[in-house]
Amino acid sequence: MISGIIRRKVASVLGQSVPRIRSSVSGPRYYRKTQKEAFLAWQGFEYVQSSSYHIFLGGHAHSNPREVAAIFQTGAFARSRNRSFSSDNGDLIEAVVPFMGESITDGTLANFLKKPGDRVEVDEPIAQIETDKVTIDVVSPEAGTLQKFVAKEGDTVEPGTKIAVISKSGEGVTQAPSEKAAAQPLPPEQKKSVEKQTPKEETAPVKEKIKEPSPPLPKAKGASSPPKATASEPQLPPKDRERRVPMTRLRKRVATRLKDSQNTFALLSTFNEVDMTNLMKLRSDYKDAFLEKHGVKLGLMSGFVKAAVSALQNQPIVNAVIDGDDIIYRDYIDISIAVGTPKGLVVPVIRNTEKMNFAVIEKEINTLAKKANDGSISIDEMAGGTFTISNGGVYGSLLSTPIINPPQSAILGMHSIVNRPMVVGGNIVPRPMMYIALTYDHRLIDGREAVFFLRRIKDVVEDPRRLLLDV
């Protein structure tokens, strides 16, 4: 009823038809006097519909139905609040930082993969966000031309932060001048005008007086020469031969976790050596048939994973972890595989390895290693893990003491295979030998269990038939 009165009042003032207005909620009122009448508008008008084009207090109401969240009368126009667009015609699209995981709140804008003016396709990566654990791509939501970046490299960004603006039509995109265009000579007309504007320099030679070298001044009595640096003083390298580079978030995270591991655990390492003859012969005999049937190569890592599963089942305390004043025994075996990448160390997890055979383990290792190296590994694929295997032998390491990956309690270190003389059956023969190391938390695991654990791995690797017989 009130809205009908308002419509009639406004129509009498303007002398034209006014569209029907339906109020959704009541709210604070805004007043604007027009000669002798006052116009009332409630915050929360929901729809404005009309079949013609009307003048509405200096604003306009179009014939097409439009959803309006609120109408505010300010000055000589009516402003509507509804769903925001990047542009009036929807040509500009914003690329934002995606959701990065429940445990990740922000990241660092590492680098841009595209430049303003480049053509991008749907879901094509345009920037990379570096987090404490993984590198995440920011992709283009629509196909178009990259107009500009609204963030800089090195900025700390959160999910939903705008990174770039993309134009679907390519309008308004300024191309950077190419080097060829900058190197092109000026036209003759412009060249002549430039020459005219440049004042001519005097060509008359200027004779300069040749300064004679002044005779050396006599040394004052009592003056001493500067002291010479002695051989014992350290000679520091010049600063111009040093570079200061900020640490990446992944490197800082790795450094923090490893130092926390040193400060928290009572680290102790025990060692043994393994004769790799039988495992290497098993791989050599069946590698072709294995590849033909399963589509993946048979490596040595799957043998050590199976040996670790057997050892963890024989010594469950190695698979446990301290939590406050309690010990948590885990009845599942998730083995983490340490992978070194150009960006840092990542540790993907193979879950439920106690239920896997050699082929499934090899496939999982290959898949996770590829994802880790190309930076596409996810947070979920690195979360958890009850035991870690680190293979430093691929880099030529002969012996090392690995550091525990929290919140685990032990880590197995594999090393390079070297032919060494060994006594077999009373004879000295060359054998391919590998040193293995187990670093464990001595607060939880005693030396007896640690040695038994390492001996079980040695027995299974040296005689893989034990896995079939479970002995």
Q: What is the pLDDT along the chain (471 residues), one digit of tens a residue?
A: 445 544 554 444 444 444 444 444 444 433 333 343 333 334 333 333 333 334 344 444 444 444 433 333 333 333 333 333 344 457 888 889 988 777 778 888 888 888 898 999 988 899 988 887 778 888 889 898 988 888 988 888 888 899 899 988 876 555 544 444 444 555 555 555 545 554 444 444 444 444 455 555 555 444 555 555 555 666 777 778 888 888 888 888 888 888 999 999 999 999 999 999 999 999 999 999 999 999 999 999 999 999 999 999 999 999 999 999 999 999 999 999 998 887 778 899 999 999 999 999 999 999 999 998 887 888 889 888 999 999 999 999 999 999 999 889 999 999 999 999 999 999 999 999 999 999 999 999 999 999 999 999 999 999 999 998 888
- Token pair, residue 333, equals 């075996």
Q: Given the DSSP bridges, would you call strands 144-149 and 119-120 parallel, antiparallel or unpaired?
A: antiparallel
- Token pair, residue 190, equals 């412009």
Please tell me which residue in 106, 137, 155, 442 is annotated as part of the active site: 442
Cβ contact 343:367 at 8 Å: no
**DSSP readout, 8-33?**
HHHHHHHSS---EEEE-S---EEEEE
- Token pair, residue 129, equals 């966000």
Cβ contact 270:438 at 8 Å: yes
- Token pair, residue 151, equals 């963030």
- Token pair, residue 25, equals 């909620």
Q: Given the DSSP bridges, would you call strands 387-391 and 335-337 parallel, antiparallel or unpaired?
A: parallel
* CA-wise closest residue to 114 among 177, 164, 180, 161: 164
Residue 344 pLDDT: 78
CA atoms within 13 A on the CB side of 261: 21
Instruction: Find where tokens 């179009």 sit.
Output: 62
Please tell me which residue in 123, 260, 285, 446 is annotated as part of the active site: 446
**DSSP readout, 44-79?**
TEEEEE-SS-EEETTEEE-SS-EE-S-EEEETTEEE
Rounded CA Rg of the chain: 38
* CA-wise closest residue to 386 among 414, 356, 412: 412
Distance between first and last Cα of the chain: 91
Coil vs helix vs strand at 321: strand
Active site (annotated) includes residue 442 = yes
Residue 228 pLDDT: 55
Cβ contact 432:463 at 8 Å: no
Q: Where are the alpha helices (DSSP H) in 114-173?
A: none
Cβ contact 350:359 at 8 Å: no
* CA-wise closest residue to 387 among 449, 321, 451: 321
User: What are the beta bridge partners of residue 341?
Assistant: 344
* CA-wise closest residue to 462 among 281, 270, 271: 281
* Alpha carbons 415 and 397: distance in angstroms, whole number: 6
Cβ contact 64:53 at 8 Å: no
Amino acid type, 311 = A
Neighbouring CB atoms inside 10 A of 253's CB total: 16
* Alpha carbons 214 and 319: distance in angstroms, whole number: 86
Cβ contact 80:73 at 8 Å: no
Residue 236 pLDDT: 74
* Alpha carbons 36 and 136: distance in angstroms, whole number: 63
- Token pair, residue 91, equals 């040509």
Sign of CA dihedral 268, 270, 276, 279: negative
- Token pair, residue 166, equals 């993309």
Cβ contact 397:416 at 8 Å: yes
Q: 297: which residues sit within 8 A by CB, 6+ positions away?
A: 287, 290, 291, 362
Does this model's pTM top 0.85?
no
* Alpha carbons 38 and 15: distance in angstroms, whole number: 15
Instruction: Find where tokens 């010594």 sit.
Output: 315
Residue 225 pLDDT: 54
* Alpha carbons 320 and 323: distance in angstroms, whole number: 10
Q: 410: which residues sit within 8 A by CB, 6+ positions away?
A: 318, 387, 388, 404, 438, 439, 440, 441, 445, 450, 453
- Write out the H or E segment, with its range, that includes residue 358: helix 358-374
Cβ contact 135:375 at 8 Å: yes
* Alpha carbons 232 and 247: distance in angstroms, whole number: 35
